[in-house]
Chain A
Amino acid sequence: MSMTLTIDRSHGRIAVVALRGEIDLQQSPELRRELMQCLNDRWDVVVDMARVEYIDSSGIASLVEAFQTARRLGIRFSLAAVSSAALRVLKLARLDEVFVIHAATPAALAADA
């Protein structure tokens, strides 16, 4: 199953980027592009990872790059409802302590509001 990416911009300044499926070398360029677009348009970003079944180093790299860009621009960037498969990989990279991770998207929205 490949990745589907939807962006919900109905939460004020916050764009909720919902990822679904498997994020790998084939899909990560699209993820990177969409995240960068949001950030360049000055949206705060919450990445909903509840339905991420697989993510590899290229997908993680896209998230890291977005995280760094957001920080430079002073924009909020967080992950929410990270699936166990994705959390496992984040932990493997010890990035679980670098990203702001919310238990669920509503919590993320409340925190960012």
Chain B
Amino acid sequence: MPDTHAVLRPYQRQLDLIAEMSQEFAASRNIDETLQHGLERVAEFVGAEAASLFLIDEDSGELICRACFGPVDIRGLRLKPGHGIIGRTVAKNVTTIVKDARTDPDFGALIDEKTGFTTESILCAPLSVRDQRLGAIELINKAGGGIFHPGDRQLLQALGASAALAILNARLTAAMVQQERLRRELELAAEIQRGMLPSSIADDSPIMGVNKPAHEVSGDFFDILELPDGRIAFAIGDVSGKGINAALLMAKTSSLFRCLAKFHRRPSKLLSAINDELCETATTGGMFVTMAAGLFDPASGSLLLANAGHEPALLRHRDGRFTATSAGSPPLGIAAGLVPPDMPEAWLTLAGGALYLFTDGLTESRCDKVMLGAQGVRRLIGEMAPRPLAQRLDAIIARLAPEGVPLRDDLTLLIIEDRRPPPLLAKRFDACPECLCDLRHEVEAAARAGGCDAEAAADVVLAVDEACQNIIRHGYAGVGEVVLDIRHVEGTGLVVQLIDFAPPVDVDKIKPRPLDEVRPGGLGTHFILSAMDEVAFVPPPEGAGNMLKMIKAIP
């Protein structure tokens, strides 16, 4: 059996150096320092006059000197890809010994000319891990005028491989640290963003929403803001694009809504103000925001809605019909003035139905691998409609975004529901003189059921009769469709709403006639005003002509 120690003795010093350097590379916390130290050690060990280590710049492909040893400091020096013996070594990925550099066609004398150094022999080894080329390490001029021998070459090759691994490790670690930092920041951003969504919505709130981001942060938002007068401001928005930039613009837009909604009572003016503010202060870089904002009056079940380029709002009527409302302006954030303060608004009466607002994540989501689409949305809403509001939201989201299935786009849904008790009387009919008799009896029954005594009920009957007469005689000048809704509102009394589709009346011209003037006609309005406690024409729902709201207080 040969003496192993005796066999290894001539290589012992080399092996020790490789072991030491490999350990140092593996444990390195500062790769530049470690490379510099390693280069110095190997140059001293081999006995080279100078040494340098070049790494490929990932952006430019150039070779940049990152460590050097010897009389001239060339750190930071850049070589074009493939340039010089270093470049050739990287390109061919083999270790080379050049006995006389000046006879080598690839030798770039430029460095010598610049530095006054004279290069004679060169030993150059590539830094690579498998096929990934990182750079090269070069030893210059064996001390004492000798030439580099195969032992030097093997040593440099081994150290080069070890160094390359260390460089790659350092890069991966740095990337991981960076990724971890970004992940933590994204988590924080997501947490802050979740905080921007309304959190303290009462269980019995008539407006509820849900936002399910496709990634950590969302470009969608919704908000619900209860105002001191009992009305509720709400909004839904979708920033074009995804990711952090969209999330930041979303944060800005939703903050503007929350702040400005406290001052603007008209959604049109509110959207206009948000647009001007966005255009004045935000560099949106081609991004824009589609947004719908509104003001809901739970007492009357009606709302004002303005839509800046957003998906049409979908009203599901009590009878299951759908009406889409899209009147509005272009999206926000494109140009100041593009969303004028007098942009169109829709007045919607929910009348026991519910309004659905959503982002395109809903229409474009896949249900059984097929895009849901506008019809699919209606089908899904219709299917879920019998469920209570909060459960309905959850059920719709669960259907479109089952746990564990990655979302393609942010998903946001807002539902506004008419939560008032069912009407005492709801009727859509052709108003004509012949139908008034039956109508009066229905109105009387409703008024009595709503808490009116006989006299108050007679007042309500008279007022409804006279109002219908006005519609028949002056609105339509004949038969025409009328929608009547009578309900008891706690704390208010009996609320009567009468909608017609006749041309809008000029409210100023409707005046009760002076009573001392005895003549036929003109009494109706006086009767209505006398019989009821509050009478007003209010903005009618979209498509309707007039809406008369009358209240009979119930003591």
Proximity bits, B510-544, A CB within 8 Å = 1, else 0: 00000110111101101100110000000000000
Contacting pair A57 B458 (CB below 8 A): no
- List, in ascending order, chain B residues with CB within 8 A of A89's CB: 462, 527
Q: Which of A56, A57, A88 gathers the greatest number of chain B CB atoms within 10 Å?
A: A57
Q: Nearest chain B CB to A36's CB is how many angstroms away?
A: 12
For chain B, residues 266 to 290, give those with C-beta under 8 angstroms from any C-beta of chain A: none
Contact B519 A68 (CB under 8 A): yes
The listed residue with most B CB atoms (<10 A of its CB), out of A24, A62, A67, is A24
* B8 proximal to A (CB < 8 A): no
In the complex, what residues of A have CB within 8 A of residue B520's CB? 60-62, 64-65, 68
Q: Is B472 an interface residue (CB 8 A)?
A: yes
Chain B residues contacting A26 (CB-CB under 8 Å) are 433-434, 436-437
Whether, in the assembled complex, B24 has its beta carbon less than 8 Å from a beta carbon of chain A, the answer is no
How far apart are A58's CB and chain B's nearest CB, in angstroms?
Answer: 6
In the assembled complex, B469 has its CB within 8 A of some CB on chain A: yes
Is the C-beta of A111 less than 8 angstroms from some C-beta in chain B?
no
B448 at the interface (CB under 8 A from A): no
* Contact call A56/B433, Cβ cutoff below 8 A: no
A95 & B469 in contact (Cβ 8 Å cutoff): no
**Size band of the A side of the interface?**
20 to 34
Contact status A56-B458, CB under 8 Å: no
A62 and B519 CA atoms in complex are apart in Å by: 10
Task: Tell me if B465 and A56 are in contact (CB < 8 A).
Answer: yes
Q: Are B518 and A24 in contact, CB atoms less than 8 angstroms apart?
A: no
Contact between A93 and B515, CB atoms less than 8 A apart: yes
Which residue of A25, A67, A95 is within 8 Å of B436 (Cβ)?
Answer: A25
**Which parts of A32-64 form the interface with B (CB within 8 Å)?**
54, 56-58, 60-62, 64
Tell me the complex Cα distance, A78–B479, Å. Answer: 34
Check if A2 is an interface residue, CB within 8 A of chain B: yes
B-contact bits for A86-98, CB 8 A (1 contact / 0 none): 0011001111001
Q: Which residues of B contact A68 (CB under 8 A)?
A: 518-520
B152 contacts chain A at the CB level, 8 A cutoff:
no
User: When the two chains form their complex, are residues B458 and A85 in contact, meaning their CB atoms are under 8 A apart?
Assistant: yes
B297 interface residue per 8 A CB criterion: no
The answer to whether B194 has its CB under 8 Å from any CB of chain A is no
| B458–A92 CB distance below 8 A | no
Bound complex: CA of A57 vs CA of B527, how far in Å?
A: 8
Find the B residue at minimum CB distance from A26: B433
Q: Is the CB of A93 within 8 A of B436?
A: no
Which residues of chain B from 449 to 466 have a CB within 8 Å of any chain A CB? 455, 458, 461-462, 465-466
Query: Is there contact, CB below 8 Å, between A94 and B515?
Result: yes
The reply to whether B527 and A95 contact each other, CB–CB distance below 8 Å, is no
Q: How far is the CA of A68 from the CA of B531 in the complex (A)?
A: 26
Q: How far is the CA of A2 from the CA of B436 in the complex (A)?
A: 10
Min C-beta distance of A4 to chain B, whole Å: 13
Rounded to whole Å, the gap between the CB of B151 and the closest CB of chain A is: 120
Contact of B466 among A57, A62, A85 (CB under 8 A): A57
The complex places the Cα of A24 from the Cα of B524 at a distance, in Å, of 12
Shortest distance from the beta carbon of B470 to any chain A beta carbon, whole Å:
9
| Contact B440–A61 (Cβ < 8 Å) | no
Chain B: CB-nearest residue to A54: B440
Nearest-neighbour CB distance to chain A for B466, whole angstroms, equals 6
Cβ-defined contact, B518 with A57, below 8 A: no
Partner of A56, one of B434, B515, B516, B527: B527
| Chain A residues positioned under 8 Å from B527 (CB to CB) | 56-57, 89, 92-93
Measured between alpha carbons, how far is A94 from B523 in the docked complex, in Å? Answer: 11
Residue of A nearest to B530 (CB): A92
Cα–Cα distance between A65 and B523 once the two chains are bound (Å): 13
Determine how close the nearest CB of chain A comes to the CB of B358; give it in whole angstroms: 46
- With A89-B462, A93-B527 given, is the CB distance from A24 to B436 under 8 Å? yes
A24 and B437 in contact, given A56-B466, A58-B469, A94-B515 (Cβ under 8 angstroms): yes
Let me know if A95 and B472 touch, CB within 8 A. no
For B530, what are the chain A residues with a Cβ–Cβ distance below 8 Å?
92
A57 touching B469, Cβ below 8 Å: yes
In the bound complex, residues from chain B placing their C-beta under 8 Å from that of A94 are 515-516
A95 CA / B516 CA spacing, docked (Å) = 9
Q: Which residues of B contact A57 (CB under 8 A)?
A: 466, 469, 521, 523-524, 526-527
Bound-state CA distance A39–B455 (Å) is 34
Residues A61 and B523 in contact in the complex (CB < 8 Å), given A68-B518, A92-B531: yes
Residues of A within 8 A of B440 (CB): 22, 24, 54
A64-B519 Cα distance, complex, nearest whole Å: 6
Residue of B nearest to A95 (CB): B518
Asked if A110 is at the interface (CB within 8 A of a chain B CB), the reply is: no
- Give the residues in chain A near B469, CB-CB below 8 Å: 24-25, 56-58
Other than A25-B472, A68-B518, give 17 A-B pairs with Cβ distance below 8 A.
Answer: A22-B440, A24-B440, A24-B469, A25-B436, A26-B436, A56-B465, A56-B466, A56-B524, A57-B521, A57-B523, A58-B469, A61-B523, A64-B519, A68-B519, A68-B520, A88-B458, A94-B515
What are 15 A-B pairs with beta-carbon distances under 8 A?
A2-B437, A24-B465, A24-B469, A25-B473, A54-B440, A56-B462, A56-B469, A57-B466, A64-B518, A67-B518, A68-B518, A85-B458, A89-B527, A92-B526, A93-B526
| A-B CB proximity, top 8 nearest | A61-B520, A26-B433, A57-B523, A25-B433, A57-B524, A65-B520, A64-B520, A94-B515
Partner-B contacts on A (CB < 8 A): 1-2, 22, 24-26, 54, 56-58, 60-62, 64-65, 67-68, 85, 88-89, 92-95, 98
User: Using a CB–CB distance below 8 Å, which chain B residues touch chain A?
Assistant: 433-434, 436-437, 440, 455, 458, 461-462, 465-466, 469, 472-473, 515-516, 518-521, 523-524, 526-527, 530-531
